[in-house]
Amino acid sequence: MSAWWLREPMAIVIILNGTTSAGKTSLARALQDVTSRPFLHVRMDDFLTMQPRRLNNHPDGFVFAPVEGAAPPEVLIKTGAYGAKLISGMRKAVAAMADSGLDMIVDDVWLREGAEQVDYIRLLSNHEVFFVGVSAPLAILEQREVARGDRDIGQARWQHTRVHIGATYDLEIDTGDMTPQQAALKVQQAFRL
């Protein structure tokens, strides 16, 4: 039996989908600590910061806009043409790394009623892919969002009712009632990582 790094380039890709402040990043980092094989952590947020600053809150990139009349506040996200290319490129980059034999945990936010999952299934058809829905009660999401201090308040509320529409999961995790380490062990055991 050969070592994992000498095997054919079929990767394991774990895709975490959930709202901002759901705990995806904390879960991914904890999961990296408990898996028997090394997993890269790929964050959608890192790709968003790659775009030129002039496209922040610009119609071609991503616009974070308050929902008029929403109380408590909600912040919607509009994706422009450049933003759509960036997110498509991220998913293709994930596929390219998987084709190189790199295992990954992908930290993503889906807002197109499951179309993102269809993209991943198509791009990663030669790999073992696990979809994990990450959620928490809205009150906890909002507490985390405020505590972080780096998000527009209201993103979690707006995403909460949208992010899981049309998605199907191999596992669902509620981070509201467990630590990142407990959640990571649940994922590790479910997929025998």
- Residue 154 is labelled as binding a ligand: no
- Residue 19 is labelled as binding a ligand: yes
- Residue 78 is labelled as binding a ligand: no
Torsion of CA 109, 114, 118, 124, to 10 degrees: 30
- Residue 30 is labelled as binding a ligand: no
- Residue 149 is labelled as binding a ligand: no
Q: Is the peptide bond before 59 cis (omega within 30 degrees of 0)?
A: no
- Residue 22 is labelled as binding a ligand: yes
- Residue 161 is labelled as binding a ligand: no
Query: How big is the CA angle at 149 (ends 145 and 152), to the nearest 5 degrees?
Result: 65
Q: Strands 128-135, 75-79: parallel, antiparallel or unpaired by DSSP?
A: unpaired
- Residue 18 is labelled as binding a ligand: yes
CA distance 59 to 80: 5
Catalytic site residue from 45, 107, 108, 170? 45
Residue 45 catalytic? yes
> Which has the closest alpha carbon to 133: 93, 168, 101, 182?
168
Q: Amino acid letter at 148?
A: R
Pick out the residues of the known binding site.
18-25
- Residues known to be catalytic: 45
Pick out the residues of the known binding site for ATP.
18-25
